[in-house]
Amino acid sequence: MLETRPAFTQDRPAAFLFLQGLASPFFSDLGRALKARGHSVRRINFCPGDWLFWRLPSDNYRGTRDGWQSYLDAYVERHGITDIILFGDCRPFHMAGRQVAEERGLRVHVFEEGYIRPNWITCELGGVNGHSSLPKTAEAVRDLARRLPQPGRAMPSTGDMARRSVWDVAYNVANIGFPYLYPHFRSHRPTHIAAEYAGWIKKFSRRGRTKREAQRCNEIYNAVGADYFLLPLQLDSDYQIRVHSPFLGVEGFMDRVIKSFAETSSAPTRLLVKLHPLDSGLINWRKFARASARRHGVSERLDFIDGGDLPSLIAGARGVVIVNSTVGMLSLELGCPTLATGTAIYNMPGLTHQGGLDTFWTDPTAPDMGLMADFRRVVLHRTQVNGGFFAREAIERAVAGTVPRIEASLPDALLAAARALREDGEGNGRLAPVY
């Protein structure tokens, strides 16, 4: 490991390096806002889609993954990078980026979808989810919460699905249309985007039927007062499963849960499996679930839906079983017993069931709601920013909230240098503030 050495001097502002983000203008808008504050901003593009959503100084990495870490190490040295900004810390390029940052003493600001949804995004220093620095014991949570004020109310930040779809298509069409510009780029997604889009088209063609099925199942459950546990699936491509759980994917997790349910629970308790709303439908998870249920002898007690209102499904359930999805936060906030089989920020005594799968079906442990309120306060203050990634107003609010959060982590010397540059730029008409 290299000797830790900060790549900056005390007489100049922070130098931010952006890596990969979403198919959204969020990173570009955030970069402009940081530049307007007097900081230096650059980006490394890995594919045409990255370039499409960026209009500030940038460089292009066209090499292989094997050569990426040494390239980045030289890059941060050459440009005096002090901070790295990225979305999702488990992508292969980003894992190497975090290692370079650790060796050189750089700060890493990691973005993700909100731990708390809707209306929030995650911006956490160092890492998210399994790499998060949030307190991991009830005592630490309570101690920190006592020193924090009550969080303010979030402004609604609904997404724009049509705009999100257009941006996603533009990003991927650029990648498909100009692959020779970045010949070694390989997406972190396990499936080619053309196959994903084909899956979405097929899924939308069946949307009316699957929605009616989910509604009918919900009505029957309510009418008979069904005793059931909820199993909401994550995406099979989710790095939180691949990196922060003992499972290789959804199939292994689902089979393990169904097996335990069959061996430990008793009729008339049912298991309701819910498909992730953003699952493209390429894999027939309904078929896998039913095959597993037949294999373990509980076909008559398992139901599968693609749709349904998640909060009401959680409210009616005896318990919720997940890997490490943010559904766990919602479940705990609703006071529902929750079992997380993977590494999750909320998986701790006092919040989640700690006795293992086999005891969950007969004696699920409900969360301590006082502890959950404290934990939510800590999560909001430490990691959440009001806003979103896929609607203009939501992006503006997210950028406005992110800039002070990032600047709060910077040394005073870097802030002073940025302030001096900003004041000089404003006086000479060269630097106009964005927010």
Domain boundaries along the sequence of the chain: 15-161+383-427, 206-378
Residue 433 pLDDT > 50: no
pLDDT at residue number 426: 59
What class has domain 15-161+383-427? alpha beta
pLDDT at residue number 392: 92
| Lowest mean pLDDT, pick from 23-27, 122-126, 256-260, 418-422 | 418-422
Residue 2 pLDDT > 50: no
Confidence of residue 5 (pLDDT cuts 50, 70, 90): very low
pLDDT tens digits, 173-186: 999 999 999 999 88
> Percent of the chain at pLDDT above 90?
78
Residue 248 pLDDT > 90: no
Select the CATH number that applies to the domain covering 206-378 from these four: 3.40.50, 2.40.128, 3.10.620, 1.10.405: 3.40.50
pLDDT at residue number 206: 84
Average pLDDT of span 350-359? 96
In whole angstroms, what separates CA 160 from the centre of its chain? 18
232 close to 225: Cβ distance less than 8 angstroms = no
Residue 133 pLDDT > 80: yes
pLDDT at residue number 281: 87
Confidence of residue 424 (pLDDT cuts 50, 70, 90): confident
Query: Around Cβ 17, how many Cβ atoms within 10 Å?
Result: 25
What is the chain's mean pLDDT, rounded? Answer: 91
Confidence of residue 429 (pLDDT cuts 50, 70, 90): very low
Residue 191 pLDDT > 80: no
Quick one: tokens of 317?
């359930």
pLDDT at residue number 1: 37
pLDDT at residue number 359: 97
Confidence of residue 192 (pLDDT cuts 50, 70, 90): confident
More confident residue, 428 or 358: 358
More confident residue, 193 or 434: 193
